[in-house]
Structure 1
């Protein structure tokens, strides 16, 4: 029996979703993206947070070009729109997604990473957008998500020149949130997912769904939506209990970082 293209495992409240084509550097084909969709939808039902990772030495080398080069124009457009829908289900779903990155985070792999809420890269990770050198353009949402993370000028530089970027540089640009030693990205991602899973579900839902929409609004519209979300989240029974716990000193105050 063939190995699954995408693995799924439930670890307590955390769904572990793995790209599982290590011999192809986890390149994304149509079958892979559909399998990812099934796993993501399952996680939304079964888990309170999820972690996406890549098996082997590389997270994802991007689009499966052997498949893409044979597609007629309309199929290519439809395929791109399918990626948009599935990655949007990650970014604007019901639970937080943390992504663990190592080795190649290239093209469509970077686009997938950009759809998650928190990105953790180990020291072996490198980021690339070689579409310009291959005569194509990003099609998995990168022109929106990656450009908003690191800026359109930096993204354009990567696409025009084919340069690769280290995880330390990418952290400085805003493309990743954490850089960890080699081999520790998945452990760190699990730690962060467990922390996010402890939040009130309505707070997580508001963070995931309101923030990207507010970003797309005018300042005044964004502030109005912020007021609504602030009020809606604060009147839930869970929020009331958590605020009372804080006021009555049953939970610790925030402390300065130790690093």
Structure 2
């Protein structure tokens, strides 16, 4: 019997759709899935202008596959964690925007994967948790840095110490997700957003994905310096000249208020 791939890959126009495909295991992440996901993410970097990460079946991702988790020596745990960091960095530090389309359980390592993406769309069924604390372990896929930056360290402490679960509405209020949609509509919203970002000028995307996150770790003066460098690169590029000319000639739409565009 053929064994289905743990990760699916589909190129739709200029957007790569990368799907976690262990629905019987709630898309829990084992080493095989992690390796397939890395290969898919790197493939997307080479042939797409945007990427959507989603989950097949009842949820996005239930985190680390504890059924395959075995007792490890500290050094083994350390290197296993660093492997997760490296794979998720292929998304976070890649040169195309990644959008997570979320539904159902998005917990533990699944939340860490969602946090590695640049935009997050959650449908109303989505819920978020960091159950590692209640299971006697600690996060290892980047949550201490990346989830804490999205939520704030106090909220992450609450989730880890008490097992608190955030529903989709609470996650949006906390800044964990940027878009909240009705149940079942996350893929459609992700498709809409990915079409927009795939049309962005490459130098603008470079600034948003590569400069903006690093500026957050810089001093004010250094951050403003890097901003000016990126402005000089982007605003003198050929695509910028064409798009600005279109705007001046009134061939491009003006910014409209929410719901008016």
Q: What TM-score comes out, normalization by structure 2 length?
A: 0.97
Query: Which runs of structure 2 are paired with 1:2-81 in the superposition (5 Å)?
Result: 2-81=3-82
User: 1:156-215, CA deviations, whole angstroms, 9 ceiling, x for partnerless residues?
Assistant: 100000011011000000000111111111111111011100110121121011111001
State the distance in 2 between where 1:25 and 1:74 align: 28
Q: List runs of 5+ in structure 1 lacking aligned partners.
A: none
State the distance in 1 between where 2:252 and 2:161 align: 50
Which residue number corresponds to residue 99 of structure 2?
A: 98
Task: Give the deviation of 1:91 after TM superposition.
Answer: 1.0
Which residue number corresponds to residue 111 of structure 1?
A: 112
- Asked whether the equivalents of residues 68 and 76 of structure 1 are also in contact (C-alpha less than 8 Å), the reply is no
Task: Give the deviation of 1:73 after TM superposition.
Answer: 2.3
SS at match of 1:142: coil
State the distance in 2 between where 1:194 and 1:48 align: 9
State the distance in 1 between where 2:239 and 2:171 align: 37
Give the number of equivalent residue pairs: 259
State the distance in 2 between where 1:69 and 1:172 align: 37
Q: Which runs of 4 or more aligned residues in structure 1 lie more than 4 Å from their structure 2 counterparts after TM superposition?
A: none
1:140 counterpart = 2:141 = yes
SS at match of 2:51: strand
Task: Give the deviation of 1:66 after TM superposition.
Answer: 2.2
Q: What TM-score comes out, normalization by structure 1 length?
A: 0.98
Which residue number corresponds to residue 180 of structure 1?
A: 181
Q: CA RMSD in A?
A: 0.9
Which residue number corresponds to residue 231 of structure 2?
A: 230
State the distance in 1 between where 2:42 and 2:26 align: 24
Task: Give the deviation of 1:74 after TM superposition.
Answer: 1.8
SS at match of 1:244: helix
Q: List runs of 5+ in structure 2 lacking aligned partners.
A: none
Task: Give the deviation of 1:68 after TM superposition.
Answer: 2.5
State the distance in 1 between where 2:16 and 2:92 align: 16
Which residue number corresponds to residue 190 of structure 1?
A: 191
Which residue number corresponds to residue 259 of structure 2?
A: 258
Pick which of 240-249 and 104-113 moved more.
240-249
State the distance in 1 between where 2:252 and 2:175 align: 31
SS at match of 1:121: strand
State the distance in 2 between where 1:2 and 1:11 align: 24
Task: Give the deviation of 1:70 after TM superposition.
Answer: 3.2
